Amino acid sequence: MPQRRISLQIGNFYHIYNRGNNHQAIFFERENYIYFLRLVRQRLIGNGVDVVAYCLMPNHYHLLVYLRDETLSKAMQSLSLSY
């Protein structure tokens, strides 16, 4: 599936979300949520992205991020490949 290209601008807020295939769960137990939040901290925070708010649901997540530099695409790719 081709990626949608969006022109990101430094200093803006972005709503990022991802959902499991066919609305299937991506988080099954408490440890899954904790592991994902650790990955968010490792892959996003400190890499040009400030996480302002988040919401983790069993089959999807939402992140509200503030972009400090141009690394959001690489940071999100790293997060997605890690979980």
The pLDDT value recorded for residue 3 is: 63
User: Closest by alpha carbon to 43, among 14, 20, 73?
Assistant: 73
Burial class for 47, CB neighbours closer than 10 Å (0-12, 13-18, 19+): middle
**Residue type at 41 in one-letter notation:** R
Greatest CA separation for the chain: 36
Q: Model pTM greater than 0.85?
A: no
The label of the residue with tokens 């969006």 reads 6
List of domains in the chain? 13-82 (3.30.70.1290)
Q: For 27-39, how does the pLDDT look when each residue is reduced to its tens digit (9 = 90+)?
A: 999 999 999 999 9
